[in-house]
Amino acid sequence: MENNFLKVLKNANFNRLWGSQILSVFCAYMLNFALSYKLFTLTGKSLSVSLLYVFYYAPVYILGFFSGVFIDHFSRRRILLITNILQAICVLFYLFIGNNFWLIYAIIFVYSMIDQFYLPAESAYLPELVKKEELPVANSFFNFASFGGLFFGFVLGGPIMLAFGVNAPFYLASLFLWIAALSAFLLPQDTPPKDFHFLKQDFFVKTKEDILENLRFIWSRPKIYFSMLITLFFMMIVAMMAVILPAFGEQVLNINLLNISWIIIFPIAIGAILGAIGVEKRIGSTGKRKLIGLGGLICGLVLLAVYFLARLGESTLFLPENLVVIMLPLAAVLGFGVSLVMIPAQTLLQEETPNQIRGRVFGAQKLLQGIFLIIPTVFSAVLADILGVKVLLLVIGVLILSGTFLSFFYRNNHKPVLAIEKQQEKTEKV
């Protein structure tokens, strides 16, 4: 029997969607690096960099549920095409703002508003392009792209700016987003899961009804809200760690901040790839929930190990350079654990959500992501400044272990059958 990895890679439509995602993620992180650099050089304050994340996640509160409803009534292929084109144009405005850092926030806000439609459409469209048994592998590839975009975006952002000037990332991002739009254009035509016309119905009344239906559906499905909470919780953890990463490199590892990419981010990406391979091999026999629990346990223990090693580094018996050597395998193990959590959780969410409301469920996930991330991101930066980055590592490690142990007590005690599921089953039979 042909390996699922090969089956997915031979799927031309999946490759088009994946290619669009790769370019989109790479551009996002490369722009993140370039804008963080520009803001810090303009203000000299870390707070200005933190506000970059605040303005990026703020549109989630405005469009989170609305975008999901929108996606369920319109072609997801067309949404992917239009959003890529709009973002390709949007990034070019950075070339004309000079040193006005408030305009940087304004543009990132608009860019993020467009993202509120792109990301849920992408997640909702993926299950239409691959078979159900291939979803874990497809999500693994999307996970590769996320870590790859993080790695190459941050690693190549600096050299690109040094070689071609500080504005080069904006030209390159626009070019790549146009290519991503072309990739979306080549995807097959899709039919909106729900027929809806603005002129025939009150859109806002219908939107309110759909939002309430969406909330009832999510709450009535333990597997869905469990997997969504796990995904959001780990996104929050990753955001908190990203905020303290520069301080960790400077205060704990005592390294040049440009080397963080190779000492921390690169091994995390390698570990994530190995973890994704492990998930594909074991997800059928081990089960998604057990893999999620194992991944959480690994991540929590790794962060506690880093905390205690950092404490040892305060003495002359354990020098920072020794911690740097140990950090390489620990970072890889951390990436491995993250894959064990994120891939099964996302796969479970996609499998359990009916196609006709899938866009709204992922829109809700995006909305909750903003709620989960903004406050912890700012709070972790303040906490790290007051108590130190080492204490925050301990806090994050304990949070992960606590969440993991709580998930062990989770039980799927009820399995309600909704009318929407029955409708989907009848449609599939016909």
Cα–Cα distance measured from residue 158 to residue 30, given in angstroms and rounded to the nearest whole number? 9
- Please tell me the predicted confidence (pLDDT) of residue 413: 45
303, 392 in Cβ contact below 8 A? no
Lowest mean pLDDT among 107-111, 194-198, 222-226: 194-198
Q: Which domains does the chain have, with CATH numbers?
A: 9-189 (1.20.1250.20), 226-430 (1.20.1250.20)
Cα–Cα distance measured from residue 132 to residue 377, given in angstroms and rounded to the nearest whole number? 35
- Please tell me the predicted confidence (pLDDT) of residue 430: 42
Cα–Cα distance measured from residue 74 to residue 117, given in angstroms and rounded to the nearest whole number? 11
- Please tell me the predicted confidence (pLDDT) of residue 4: 72
**Residues 215-236, mean pLDDT to the nearest whole number:** 78
Q: What is the pTM of this model?
A: 0.68
- Please tell me the predicted confidence (pLDDT) of residue 297: 93
**Residues 95-111, mean pLDDT to the nearest whole number:** 90
Q: What percentage of the chain carries pLDDT values higher than 90?
A: 21
DSSP 44-91: --HHHHHHHHHHHHHHHHHHHHHHHHHHTTS-HHHHHHHHHHHHHHHG
CA dihedral 267, 268, 270, 273 (to 10 degrees): 170
Cα–Cα distance measured from residue 75 to residue 71, given in angstroms and rounded to the nearest whole number? 7
pLDDT in tens, 173-205: 999 999 999 999 999 987 776 555 544 556 566
Mean of all residue pLDDT scores within the chain = 79
pLDDT in tens, 280-333: 777 766 677 788 889 999 999 999 999 988 887 666 555 556 778 888 899 999
3-state SS class at 98: coil
